[in-house]
């Protein structure tokens, strides 16, 4: 698989070839690694497309059995077969563009209506409150905020901490007593702003001090 931005990839497609022991290696446009679909264009379209199909199939199955199954069982089915697709690796993959983010949210909306046997004119906010759900965007922000807290407080492997630098190095080890912000990388090209190093630092800088100095990560509520 050749990995490159879309505009550059076409320059190499025709001439690219690879052989091992005179056997041609098949070229693919995407590959699955640890549950994440990685596409050649360095975006999340392939990943979202694949998990969307799985989620949609499960929603259809829930719809077929909902009149025969207690509601608490339906919720368990959802938590086991659907919610993990929304949550898995979303700290890294969560920097979707607007279109992909909306596609996932529409699936979440459809799931809520299906579980509650409601029509498309129902109030989604009421349905979400009934289940204790929030919009996926805010769930991703919360999980990334918690991870940033853990990184900056030495609760993760050191290589993650090494990716972030405080603007004021004097305060680097006095996080609970300072509003010090992180150095924001200046990525080139612009699409690298979706990287974790950039988006994580940007998110942390925008958090209120009460969250930055929280002792328990379960206090985070974005």
pLDDT tens-digit readout, 120-156: 888 988 889 888 888 998 888 888 988 998 898 888 8
- Residue 79 sits in the same domain as residue 151: no
Which segment of 82-86, 133-137, 215-219 scores lowest on mean pLDDT?
215-219
Instruction: Tell me the average pLDDT of the chain.
Output: 83
* Distance in angstroms (rounded) separating the CA atoms of residues 141 and 91: 8
Which residues lie closer than 8 Å to 1 by C-beta, 6 or more apart? 27, 28, 29, 30, 31, 38, 40
Question: Same structural domain for residues 57 and 111?
Answer: yes
- Could you tell me if 151 and 195 lie in one domain? yes
State which of 133, 148, 164 marks the end of a domain.
133
Q: Does residue 151 share a domain with residue 69?
A: no
| Lowest mean pLDDT, pick from 91-100, 125-134, 151-160, 196-205 | 91-100
Residue 66 shares a structural domain with residue 108 = yes
Same domain, 151 and 88: no
Total number of domains constituting the chain: 3
Q: Is the pTM of this model over 0.85?
A: no
Estimate the crossing angle of helix 98-116 against helix 71-81, to 10 degrees: 160
Q: Are residues 145 and 116 located together in one domain of the fold?
A: no
Range of the domain at 208: 140-219
Confidence band for 38, pLDDT divided at 50, 70 and 90: confident
Together in a domain, 25 and 51: no
- Do 56 and 85 form a contact (C-beta atoms < 8 A)? no
**What dihedral do alpha carbons 77, 80, 83, 86 form, nearest 10°?**
-140
- Which of 161, 158, 208 has its CA nearest to residue 181? 208
Token pair of 208, please?
A: 């209120």
- 68 and 129, same structural domain? yes
* 172 shares a domain with 193: yes
């Amino acid at each position: 698989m050749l990995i490159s931005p879309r505009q550059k990839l076409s320059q190499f497609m025709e001439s690219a070839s690879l052989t091992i022991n005179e056997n041609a290696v098949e070229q693919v446009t995407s590959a699955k690694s640890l549950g994440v679909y990685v596409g050649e264009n360095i975006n999340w379209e392939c990943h979202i497309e694949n998990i969307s199909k799985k989620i949609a199939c499960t929603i259809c199955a829930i719809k077929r059995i909902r009149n025969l199954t207690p509601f608490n069982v339906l919720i368990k089915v959802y938590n086991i077969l659907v919610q993990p697709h929304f949550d898995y690796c979303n700290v890294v993959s969560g920097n979707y563009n607007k279109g992909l983010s909306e596609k996932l949210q529409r699936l979440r909306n459809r799931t809520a209506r299906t579980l509650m046997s409601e029509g498309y004119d129902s109030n989604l906010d009421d349905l979400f409150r009934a289940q204790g759900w929030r919009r996926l965007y805010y769930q991703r922000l919360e999980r990334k905020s918690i991870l940033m807290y853990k990184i900056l407080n030495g609760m993760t492997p050191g290589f993650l901490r090494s990716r972030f630098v405080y603007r004021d190095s004097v305060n680097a080890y006095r996080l609970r007593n300072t509003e010090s912000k992180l150095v924001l990388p200046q990525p080139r090209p612009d699409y690298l702003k979706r990287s974790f190093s950039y988006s994580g630092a940007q998110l942390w800088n925008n958090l209120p001090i009460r969250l930055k100095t929280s002792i328990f990560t379960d206090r985070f509520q974005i």
